Structure 1
Amino acid sequence: MCHLEPTKCIFVVCLGLSVMVCSLIYLSADEPPEPKSRPECRPFAPQCKPFLLGDKSGLQWHRQQCQVERYIVNQTVECSKLASDLNFITAPLSKEEEDYPLAFILTIHKEVELFIRLLRAIYMPQNVYCIHVDSKAPQEYKATVQKLASCFGNVLVARRSETITYAGYSRLQADLNCMGELTMSKIRWRKVINLCGQDFPIMSNLELVRYMQSEEWRDRNMTPGVKQPAKFRSRTSFIHVEMVGSHVRRTGQKKGLPPHNMQLYFGTAYYALTREFVQFVLTNQVAQELLMWSRDTYSPDEHFWVTLNHVKEAPGSYVSGGWQGSVRAIKWSDQKGASHDGCRGRYVRDICVYGTDDIPWIIKSKGMFANKFEADTFPEALDCLEQWHRNKVLMKATVPIEPTWLLAIPHSNSTDL
């Protein structure tokens, strides 16, 4: 158990525990370990060194399972071994987390490697996860996701799959499909958080639970946004046609006013919603009328959730809310110099795909999750954040740490990474 005392004590105790446990495993083996048949793992980038435990003591970290996609794709998966082989955490790390289960919606269409590592980072056995796989994803991709999900009783793949179009209604419908299935789960989750496949957590599960129960958010939905700015009104004042799987086209035809002459809001498509609000969205007449009206708008998920969250009668509504809520740490290209010092990776659709030198900014941010990452472009960035996050998660555990929960094994025989 790690006790929350001075920082040095935490590092020494937890690090020592990790080293002792792993050493005992190796020393107690009946036979010497066989040579590794899988490729060597990529070493951590030098820029990552300050964010790894034991940096100043010359500790070296060797990543364990770094071929997660190959593990799932290229062999028959034994569910009894998968969780340990892929270093999933298999027990609640605290009573506090166990008593406040969360639900997650993951909307994915590419990069199996990123998806598995994201799921591994946020996975806790008391939570529940709904995976929506884009219907246009390759069949092999769908089969891989299904194979992984089938090994966990609390991970489900949405039965109804949408062909998602960027900025189309289909993206909103994908979340709704998962919400319908999550409401039928036996797990009594408290709030639901939605993610895409290129997200990665900054907060630990414990930090998420505490954030959801903080004074500001305990009984509220988190849907950052404001009254619809004039520059975005064309999104909802003209009829748009979704060219399935391609793009959304604006027509010259005007739309009528929203139902009940509702004030429209504009905000992020990402949220943290109470279970009661989800039921409201799925069953309330006003919510359903707004949903139907939104079908031919541009990027309806950027007005639907936040608009409903300003309806006084909605459970957990935040009528006076604005941009509050640390949902995502994103480096937008037009915010350089204001909220960040530039992208160290590359911009895609005005969003930074993080490089390793962006990690310090991510760690200092107050976001629940960081967006976005690419496995092939800057793989070392995700390696670094992933190890930093897992160390943080395990340091706050109030239960004994299982050796299989370690993503990397510490060694003290070198002063280099």
Structure 2
Amino acid sequence: MSQFRATKSGLLICTVICIFMFLYLRTSTYEEPEEEPTYPVVVECGFYPDELCSALFEGKGAAPQIAKFCKNPHRSEILAHLHKPGNCSRISQGLHFITRPLSAEEGNFSLAYIITIHKELAMFVQLLRAIYVPQNVYCIHVDEKAPKKYKTAVQTLVNCFKNIFISSKRKKVAYTGFTRLQADINCMKDLVHSKFQWNYVINLCGQDFPIKTNKEIIHYIRSKWNDKNITPGVIQPPNSKSKTSQSHPKFSPEGNIYVSPNKRFKYEPPHNLTIYFGSAYYVLTRKFVEFILTDIRAKDMLQWSKDIHSPEQHYWVTLNRLKDAPGATPNAGWKGNVRAIKRRNEEGHVHDGCKGHYVQDICVYGPGDLPWIIQSSSLFANKFEPSTDPLVVTCLERRHRLKALRQAEVPVEPHWRFQQESHFSMKLNG
């Protein structure tokens, strides 16, 4: 009898704690809880992602703590669709891809995407369906060192869409090495020779996620960069000259390839080019891409970049500063809101600190970073690791889909509708 009473008391205590957590998220206005309460060991957040996501976006103090105990509510569903045999109709409907242009304006302005991936299959699907619309075109570079099962699953998905394809040439991508740059070049060649027409190309990696909708991205390009390239960067400062030192590949203990610089400096660049240093991410016009693939200076610059450290941080921005390059922006500096990134050395004056954890001095976002992300004026955010913080991408994806459908003034599909939205007064468009 005493054992029964103890069990009954334990269940009652757990119920009270869960009710307290639920009411706290609904009504709390405090920035931080006074004490850190005890939570369940692990919960499947698929039953209440809406309330918790809303609390995270609003910056409520207890929400990030609760989010730590959540599994990814959609990961198993996504993987099941890709690893089980089935027809493409089931895959596209089951994964909830948008199947028609959401507006006439978007239908008449096509974007091309280059996406380099090697892990986190479910995250890749979430990224792809967030940016997918049928009038765009997508080149996927799957790292050659990715597992065979991963490659097969990606191929299964790609086979179901005429406007998505895998790069015809694939590399073992080295972190900060030339193969990262070459992967983009290979996809550009495929895109230029494909049957699809497109206006701009944007490059992404598997740890990116959009902040802006397709419509907002088009508005940003047309209003501020019409027929211009976006390659944020400046003339290489003296203290980063080692960035263009010669490099050689090494292997990490995990077997991954990365590239480290030697002490010798690289010889002078071809054609007396002034080397700029900037972002590896870009938004480029089709004419500029064609220029990259055919101009002798671009070709020689590519050869020169083969053994330097992080050539992708020099290549695009340097060539876009040539005055005769199509869509060139010689005086752009760091203008161009391509990526929202929290860097360790910018903590305190550019951002409020990393709420997740730092890797290579770059913040891997945690749930507490969501308010900062959605307030950013950037088009995309980097970087995410759903294996450590699964709810961050799930919340962003739901918010992104709802915003896109509302902008198009079309009904929100049940799969994406936030439950009991009127009761919780969710502020998702901020």
Return the offset for 1:71. Answer: 2.3
State which of 111, 119, 140 in structure 1 corresponds to 2:149.
140
8 A Cα contact 1:328 1:367, kept in partner? yes
Corresponding residue number in structure 2 for 1:240:
247
Q: Measured at CA, do residues 150 and 294 of structure 1 come closer, stay the same or move farther in structure 2, by a change above 3 Å?
A: same
Provide the rounded CA distance (Å) in 2 between the counterparts of 1:393 and 1:66. 22
Amino acid at match of 1:92: P
Residues 327-363 of structure 1: CA distance to partner in whole angstroms, max 9, x if unpaired?
1111111111111111111111111111112111111
Q: Which residue of 2 aligns with 1:9?
A: none
2-structure distance, mates of 1:345, 1:52: 15
Q: 332-341 or 124-133: which moved more?
A: 332-341
Q: How does 1:226-237 map to 2 (within 5 A)?
A: 226-236=234-244
Query: Which position in structure 2 is the counterpart of 1:44?
Result: 49
Task: Give the length in aligned residue pairs.
Answer: 366
| 1:293 pairs with 2:300 | no
Compared CA separation, residues 409 and 85, structure 1 to 2 (3 A): farther
Which AA in structure 2 matches 1:383? T
Structure 1 match to 2:132: 123
Q: Which of 413, 422, 426 does residue 403 from structure 1 map onto?
A: 413
Cα displacement (A) at 1:249: 3.4
Please report the TM-score for the alignment, with normalisation by the length of structure 2. Answer: 0.80
Alignment partner of 1:275 is 2:280? no
The correspondence of residues 13-412 of structure 1 with structure 2, limited to 5 A, is 41=46, 43-44=48-49, 47-49=52-54, 67-214=76-223, 216-236=224-244, 238-243=245-250, 245-398=256-409, 400-401=410-411, 403=413, 406-408=415-417, 410-411=419-420
Work out the CA distance in 2 between the residues paired with 1:383 and 1:310: 38
Q: Deviations over 1:191-219 (max 9, x none)?
A: 000001011100000001111111x3001
Distance 1:312 1:412, change over 3 A: closer
Amino acid at match of 1:318: T
State whether residues 72 and 147 of structure 1, in contact with CA within 8 Å, keep that contact through their aligned partners in structure 2.
Answer: no
Looking at structure 1, the residues matched to 372 and 259 of structure 2 have their Cα atoms a distance apart, in angstroms, of 34
Give 3-state SS (helix, strand or coil) of 1:403's partner.
coil
Higher relative helix content: 2
Pairwise CA RMSD of aligned residues?
2.3
Q: Which moved more, 1:376-385 or 1:113-122?
A: 376-385
Quote the Cα distance in structure 1 between the aligned partners of 2:368 and 2:403: 20
Corresponding residue SS for 2:248: strand
Taking the aligned partners of 1:253 and 1:355, their CA distance within structure 2 comes to 39
Amino acid aligned to 2:111: L
Aligned partners of 2:123 and 2:163: how far apart in 1?
A: 20
Gaps of 5+ in 2: 1-43, 59-71
Change (3 A) 1:279 1:414: same
| Amino-acid identity (%) | 46
User: In 1, Cα distance between the equivalents of 2:364 and 2:73?
Assistant: 25
Once the two structures are TM-superposed, the CA of residue 48 in structure 1 deviates from its matched residue by 2.1
CA distance in structure 2 between the aligned counterparts of 1:118 and 1:413, rounded to whole angstroms: 28
Distance 1:166 1:130 in 2: 20
Q: Note closer, same or farther for the CA distance 1:416–1:395 as it changes in structure 2 (3 Å cut).
A: closer
TM superposition shift of 1:388: 1.1
Counterpart position of 1:26: none
1:221 to 1:263, Cα distance in 2 relative to 1, 3 A: same
Q: Which amino acid aligns with 1:240?
A: S
Q: Tell me, which stretches of 5 or more residues in structure 1 are unaligned?
A: 1-38, 54-62
CA shift in 2, pair 1:267/1:312, >3 Å: same
Cα separation, 1, equivalents of 2:99 and 2:73: 17
Tell me, yes or no, if the aligned pair for 1:327 and 1:369 is still in contact at 8 Å: yes
- The higher relative CO (CA closer than 8 Å, separation ≥ 6) is in 1
In structure 2, the CA distance between the partners of 1:403 and 1:225, relative to structure 1 (3 Å rule), is same
Structure 2 letter corresponding to 1:218: N
Question: What's the TM-score once normalised by structure 1's chain length?
Answer: 0.83
Q: What is the distance in 1 between the residues matched to 2:189 and 2:77?
A: 30
* 1:65/1:87 contact within 8 Å kept: no
Give the 3 Å change call, closer, same or farther, for CA 43–321 of structure 1 in structure 2: same
Which amino acid in 2 is paired with 1:242? Answer: P
Asked if the contact 1:65–1:86 (Cα under 8 Å) also holds between the matched residues in 2, the reply is no
Q: Per the alignment, do residues 283 and 226 of structure 1 end up closer, same or farther by CA in structure 2, a change over 3 Å counting?
A: same
